[in-house]
Chains A and B, each alone.
Chain A
């Protein structure tokens, strides 16, 4: 919500031409618990990637890279679904 356009700069008819601009949003304030990845245990099964509702798991080349903490709302479905317990949680300060 940081860089909202002024009403005169908006497109007509309620069109949004800037596709996917929600990506700039920071929803980290929603989170009370933070998932933390444990690299040693991870088997890169990508189940956490598939069950994340917020696109907060960044993957590349079929491997887990990191959590995107600006997108994560801390629902911890990834922690609950991880088959090898490679994700732990930590309370946000």
Chain B
């Protein structure tokens, strides 16, 4: 599949929404819907995506769209998918329909974790997508469990004693893998065709699947709006956001690395230096940068060992 073929498919996410200029979510949602070439039902937890694309009485979605509360997109989509399965068995629905649940890092890693975990355990045939913008950007950039170490947010301020968030990021991918669901992946909009391939793999697999996607946020990360894709590329090349997928079959995990920068692996400071939320690390606070780098290196080595590269 290439970009030309994708661009010939009918768009199901229209412009005219109120996402910020340069928002990564618009890019990702378009890619996901373009990759699924079938009827689709989308569920969306309360997030930037929901408030900006479905402000009543207008909507950006040309497919079915369900909005619900912050924490229960997984529960809602479980119900929808179960209803579909029952109606299909009774022969009241003939079409094949896919189900996608979009949520932010708040909606899946923090507030929605219990409904997410429940839906994975029950094995509903839904693709869960986490648009990880690393804080509660919609409500004013509060810290979330997915905020990286050392990042400024409105609740982790920079001062004499405290220098941004003091905990490392929650690894939601490993949590999803621990449920032994058939397909889990991590993707980034900078590697567009990789993202498209992961989405089409996920919808072709029978059972729950989860994709964690880095979603750059202009006002929250504080970078130039034209650099949305560029900042993701720095994240991938510095191994801050490695691209990999995990297939689980009969309880056996098969890890696969999709992109290895090899000798082009960049120091993480290149990624940090692009963003105003890490401004205090650009020149000072070397110990924090070293700690971030050590954490990334350890995780990268561990990942390579798992993928046996």
Contact = CB atoms under 8 A, between A and B. Distances in A.
Nearest to B218: A75
Interface string A61-88: 1100000101101111101110000000
A49 B11 CA distance: 11
B26 A53 contact: yes
Contacts of A25: 15-17, 58
Contacts of B31: 50
A24 B16 CA distance: 7
Contact of A71 (B12, B15, B225, B227): B15
Interface string B193-233: 00000000000000000000000000000000111111000
Contacts of B25: 53
Interface residues of A, number: 43
Looking at B23, B189, B225, the one whose CB has the most chain A CB atoms below 10 A away is B225
A22 B17 contact: yes
Given A49-B3, A53-B26, A53-B27, A74 B21 contact: yes
Contacts of B14: 20, 22-23, 55
Given A19-B61, A46-B3, A53-B25, A14 B15 contact: no
A81 B229 CA distance: 8
Contacts of B40: none
Contacts, number: 129
A35 B63 CA distance: 29
A52 interface: yes
Contact of A76 (B4, B7, B189, B226): B226
A36 interface: no
Contact of B18 (A4, A14, A26, A27): A27
Contacts of A51: 27, 189, 192, 228-229
Contacts of A31: 21
A80 B230 contact: yes
B164 to A, nearest CB: 27
A10 B5 CA distance: 38
A16 interface: yes
Contacts of B117: none
B62 A20 contact: yes
B15 A54 contact: yes
Interface stretch (B49-57, B131-139, B149-157): B49-57
Given A16-B54, A74-B21, A62 B15 contact: no
A54 B192 contact: no
Interface in B4-53: 4-8, 11-19, 21-27, 30-31, 53
A45 B5 CA distance: 11
A62 B27 CA distance: 18
Nearest to B53: A22
B226 A55 contact: no
A50 B256 CA distance: 25
Contact of B21 (A5, A55, A73): A73
Given A75-B228, A80-B229, A81-B229, A19 B59 contact: yes
A68 B14 CA distance: 12
Given A5-B57, A55-B11, A27 B16 contact: yes
Interface of B: 3-8, 11-19, 21-27, 30-31, 53-54, 56-63, 189, 192, 225-230
Given A46-B7, A50-B6, 14 more contacts: A16-B57, A16-B58, A20-B12, A20-B62, A23-B15, A26-B16, A50-B7, A52-B26, A53-B30, A55-B15, A62-B7, A75-B226, A77-B27, A77-B227
